[in-house]
Amino acid sequence: MASNTHVLFSIIAGLALWCGPGWLIARAVMIRRVPAIVLAPALGWAVQNMAMLAVAPMIGLSPSAILLVTALVCVGAPLLRRGRTVPPTTDAGARLVLPALALAALLACIPAAAVLPKVGADGAVALATPIYDHAKIALVDEIARHGVVPPANPVFGSGGAPGVISYYYLWHFGAAQLVILTGATGWEADAATTFFSAFAALALVAGIAFRFHPSAMAPLLALAAAASGSLRPLLASLFGATRVDQAIEPATGLAGVLYQASWSPHHVASASCVVLAVWLLAQARSRPSPGTAVVLALLVAAGFDSSLWVGGVTFALAAGAAVLVLAARRPSEARGRFLALVGAAAIGAGMLVAPILLAQLQVAMARGGGPPIRIEPFAVLGPAIPAGLRMFFDIPAYWLVLLPIELPAIAFAGSVGLFMTLRRRHGPQRGTNRLAAALGTLSLGALAVSAFLVSTAGENNDLGWRAVLPAVLVLSGFAGAAMGGALQRRRWLAMGVAVLLIAAGLPDSWALASGNLRGVRSMDSGTFAGDPTLWAAVRREVAADVRIASNPGRLEQLTPWPINLSWALLSQRRSCFAGPEMALAFAPLTPKQRADATDLFARVFAGEGTSADLAQMHQNFGCGAAVVTAQDGAWRNDPFAASPLFRLAQEEDGRWRIYVAATQGGTAP
Question: Distances from the Cα of 43 to the Cαs of 46, 285, 431, 590, 614, in angstroms?
Answer: 5, 20, 21, 38, 49
- Domain region containing 642: 524-661
Spatial distance between the Cα atoms of 307 and 325, rounded to a whole number of angstroms: 25
Residues 278 and 224 in one domain: yes
Q: Are residues 531 and 504 in the same domain?
A: no
Q: Is the residue at 303 inside a domain?
A: yes
pLDDT value, residue 665: 45
- Ranges of residues in the chain with a pLDDT under 70 are 31-32, 82-92, 368-369, 424-431, 664-669
408 with 272, same domain: the answer is yes
Question: Do residues 231 and 215 share a domain?
Answer: yes
Those residues with Cβ within 8 angstroms of residue 555's Cβ, 6 or more apart along the chain or in another chain: 524, 527, 528, 531, 564, 565, 566, 631
353 in any annotated domain:
yes
* Cα–Cα dist 351/346, whole Å: 9
Is 603 within 8 Å of 556 (Cβ atoms)?
Answer: no
Residue pLDDT, tens place only, 431-478 = 678 899 999 999 999 999 999 999 887 778 999 999 999 999 999 999
Cis-peptide, bond into residue 150, ω within 30° of zero: yes
Q: Report pLDDT for 553.
A: 87
**Shared domain check, 609 and 481:** no
Cα–Cα dist 403/380, whole Å = 10
Residue at a domain's end among 497, 517, 537: 517
User: Measured in Å, how far apart are the chain's first and last C-alpha atoms?
Assistant: 21
Whole-angstrom distance, CA of residue 12 vs CA of residue 18: 10
Same domain, 550 and 631: yes
pLDDT at res. 488: 86
441/552 same-domain check: no
My answer on whether 475 and 538 are in the same domain is no
N residues, the chain: 669
Residues 441 and 575 in one domain: no
Residue 452 belongs to a domain: yes
- Please indicate, yes or no, whether residues 235 and 185 belong to a single structural domain of this protein: yes
Instruction: Give the phi and the psi of residue 444 in degrees, each rounded to 5.
Output: -65, -40
Structural domain includes residue 668: no
Report the relative pairing of strands 118-119 and 125-126 from DSSP bridges: antiparallel
| Angle CA 519–532–123, to nearest 5 | 50
Residue 537 lies in a domain: yes
Exposed, middle or buried: residue 126 (CB in 10 Å: 0-12, 13-18, 19+)? middle
**Is residue 162 situated within a structural domain?**
no
Question: Among 517, 548, 566, which residue terminates a domain?
Answer: 517
Are 525 and 518 in contact by the 8 Å Cβ rule? The answer is: no
What is the distance, to the nearest Å, from the Cα of residue 51 to the centroid of all Cα atoms in its chain? Answer: 19
Domain assignment present for 205: yes
- Last residue in a domain, options 517, 547, 575: 517
CA 594 to chain CA centroid, Å, is 25
Q: Are residues 529 and 503 in the same domain?
A: no
> CA-to-CA distance for 564 and 561, rounded, in angstroms?
10
What is the pLDDT at residue 423?
80
Instruction: Give the pLDDT confidence score for residue 558 in this predicted structure.
Output: 85
Are 487 and 547 members of one domain?
Answer: no
Per-residue pLDDT, 639: 93
Tell me the per-residue pLDDT of 542-567, one tens digit each, with 9 for 90 and over.
999 999 999 998 888 888 888 899 99
Q: What is the pLDDT of residues 501-549, one digit of tens each?
A: 999 999 999 999 999 999 988 888 888 888 999 999 999 999 999 999 9
Looking at the structure of the chain, the number of domains it has is 2
In a domain, 208, yes or no: yes
Cα 503 to Cα 483: distance, rounded to the nearest angstrom: 14
Integer CA distances (angstroms), 536 to 58, 626, 635, 658, in order: 32, 14, 20, 11
